[in-house]
A and B are shown apart, each in its own frame.
Chain A
Amino acid sequence: MSETLPILTLLVVLPAVGAAVVACMPSDNERLIRIVGMSFAVIVALLSIVMLADFKAGQGDFQFLSDHVWVRDFGISWKLGVDGISLFLVVLSGVLFPIAIIGPKVHHDVKGYVAWMLLLEAGCIGVFLSLDLFLFFLFWELVLVPMYFLIGGWGYDRRIYATLKFFLYTMVGSALMLVGILAVVFLHRQATGTLTFDVVTLAKEQSLASSTARWLFMAFAASFAIKVPIFPVHTWLPDAHTEAPTGGSVILAGIMLKLGTYGFLRFGLYLFPQAAVDLAPVFLTLGTIGIIYGAVVATMQKDLKRLVAYSSVAHLGFIVLGVFGLSQQGMEGGVLQMVNHGVSTGALFLLVGMIYERRHTRQIAELGGIQRVAPVFAGVFMVVMLSSIGLPGLNGFVGEFLVLIGTFVTHRWWAVVATIGVILAALYLLWAYQRVFHGRAEGANAAFPEMTMRERAIMAPLVILIVFLGVYPRPVLDRIAPAVHDLVSHVEAHSDYRQPAVAAGEAR
């Protein structure tokens, strides 16, 4: 099937087409809009699963390549490809978007919401699949627009402030990255004579002087660090996450934060291996600070959604650790943790959204005793929360464990400090759980409605994923490992870095 079908192009184009179709529909028939939008999202999800099934495990290079010249003057092409690093992020996007579209209740202008969501999906999948720097940048920027409208149009009280902050922060990073991209391309042409935006070519023909590469890496890193976000440029995140509508938060946390870490792997390490190695301690330190800082601040939060938002800062710190630990295991863990965080935090945001729907508050102090009145709700929350804490047997554990092992081998003390973050995660999440769900339900909390069938149906796939990835992560790691192996060897081949032999052992 995949030999003839340009499956990756479809994955990018279909949601965009869906957005256009939805935008052209009459806005009064909300039911029809939901159905049409949903069917596009589900088709994309199925396609991504078909791609996953057809994906050849054990290969590290790009599969399903699709390559067409787009703008001749600049050597720009429509080049898409998927490898073990991007594979699960694409599938995650495919799965999370339908949930974000249908899951939370949308109170007004369903048409706009669905259309922006689909366009956002096109942008996100486009970022994960692009193998052309120009194309990548296009999608990278494109992602901003729908999210800007989603937060601004459907968010909570301070949504305008949050959405502008989000847009401007991210754009500052992109601005530097665009200059960086152009510099990479033109310096490459100066050295080799060919003008190309093709990432693979640029990475293979390392043609930059080491100091230049370091500057350019920093230009890229500025953009990625803001997107991740890495401490100290994380301040847009709590605002954006808190003010965004539930669906927006799910996508922000689940998919869009991964754009940054993915960018580090695909473009940072791949294009500038030596610079990445040189600057790794900086990012490890910032990542570790993020873990501790995010956890401490999360502990202090009074707003449940803000708490989850800060927990993302901490979790993303682990992923940064995995990426810049530069060991096979750590990086595998980092990639896996991207998927895990997407599932767990996405699910957490959905649950917080459900609480808000019922109680019209997210203040922890105003909630309490929900476990008694809504045991199923509490149970689901518990599973998701434990996965976020990293309880063995659930998905969060596998990722964090691999990250810590991998980092310990190469950068011991960072791993030691980061481990404290795991304990702190248990602290803030369990404490929040205790205050919200334990005790006696009083006042409005006593009438807290139990999970509806619809909500159960929405949460079911996520809970299944949480357990499955925790118990049997092997098929996933089998597909991630070769790509990570290739990336680490690429870094080793083009820098003075060698990972210790013990770290090279693949996590199986």
Chain B
Amino acid sequence: MKASRGFQDKLKLIVIHKLLTLVGTGSVLFAVGMILAVTVTNYKNAKDNATVYSNKFENVYNEGAKFLRDETLQDLCKQILNYEKDTSQLPYMIYEFNASFPMQVKIVLSDKERNIVYKSYSDMEWDFYRNSFNKAICANAFLVGLDEIYSSVYYFNGNASNYVMSKPIYEYGITIGYLNLYIEDQWEECLYNAEYEGIITDYRGRVIHSSRQSFITGINKFEPESNQSIININGRRYWQYRQELEEAGVIIYSLIYYPRNNSLLFAAVGLIFLMTVWWFVLANVMAESMAQSNSAAVSKLVKEIKAIGEENSSYRITMATEDEFAEIGLSINQMLDSINELNLKNTELLRINNITEINQLTAQVNPHFLYNTLEIIRNLLIFDSKKADSLIVKLTQILRYSINNSRKYVCLEEDMLYIKDYLEIQKSRFEDNLHFAIAIDEPCLQCIVPKLLLQPLIENSIKYGFRKKMKIQVGIQGKMEGNILYLSVTDDGVGMTKEEAESLQQSIYEAVTESEHNGLHNIARRLYLLYGLDSGLDIIPMETEGLKVVIRINLERGMSCTK
């Protein structure tokens, strides 16, 4: 059982490995998905919020810029600065503008020395600080391009800041004054539809508007410590999105409160951990049971095969697993069957070969044949010593050929020489009572056949022929039809009935037979075992008297003599 235990462990390892990879990728994907979901949501919210802010701001900026660039206003300011008109028309224009503008604005008109010419602030509101600041703004506005607007942020002492837009007034390309627009912080009301926190600053970090007072650090400043998406403000975590409005010179920070939710993080990590543990346990159990069920079949197979080896070779595997292992069992059974068959075949071939050899040897040293031949030679020595001499030569050749046991297969041509010698000897014995005719087609002679193939047939014909008749004829024919070599021995002896022939035909292919036609049986079995099913022996009774025995050899698997 050690082998199958190893297989089971291996199987389990594979399953665990695969499942753990699955669990690992699953956990990673889950975590990544969670992070992505949060990131995308925050990013989108922050961006949408920034869009609300920037749309509003751009709107305000554009309106303000349009007002400052308005030619009527510019002309009026020029006239005022040139003392051509007094300031009485200015308030009207400002009121008109204020009516359509979403926020309260104040106007300050300064001359080129930056002294106040007109201001819509009251004297109470207009203090030294505002005055100095306005001068500083004008000084900076002096430096901007011809149609440009300088923007700044006014702030003092805890009050809400003003976004200031300053437009220098030119006459013949020379600055003659400054028109400053102070936009008061009423963004809160304008931005009522912004869902999240937001801060508007200029490029120097001066806060124009902040949805929360606590975002402001230092003196009206907001400068996040980093450009990263997540920033800390007063210990609170925010997701940050920045948008820049280049023309207005402002940066919009959209902030989504994004607390480091430890309990959520713990829950997520815990969940992943528990899932991993659960999957791991599950994987283990599954791997165990899968490996067990699979290895059970393997164990059975191993046991069955062992039974074959130890008990007997006729034992066949029985598998009731109805899977590939059952098929393996079946295949092994089939393999065992064919091995067995082959084994039997080989054993029989060996046995028949032995018998044939013995028979052949026996045939050559057949005492009757030898005795008869020697008797003939003795008689001839008296009457015809020349013929006796030729007979002795033939007998010697026969003896040499048959005793030479080194070759089992020969060319048909060679075998026929032997047959001819044999028939010559027989003819000298029976004289005119025995006639033989040999008609072998030329191609047949080169075929390789078992040695002494035809001899038993001829011997039979002569042996049985002379039992009932005084005169017999033996014919030996050979022809090729495709790959099949037909050799037939025909005699006109007693023959046999059709029924006898059929029963004989059947019996000669049986593995074991006890009939008197042992010779035929041996030839037939030998041909079958050597050349396969389509080779063999056919016994054909002649219509008149006599019998025809046909040897059929499929030479596809055979060889031919090479000269």
The reply to whether chain A is a binding partner of chain B is: no
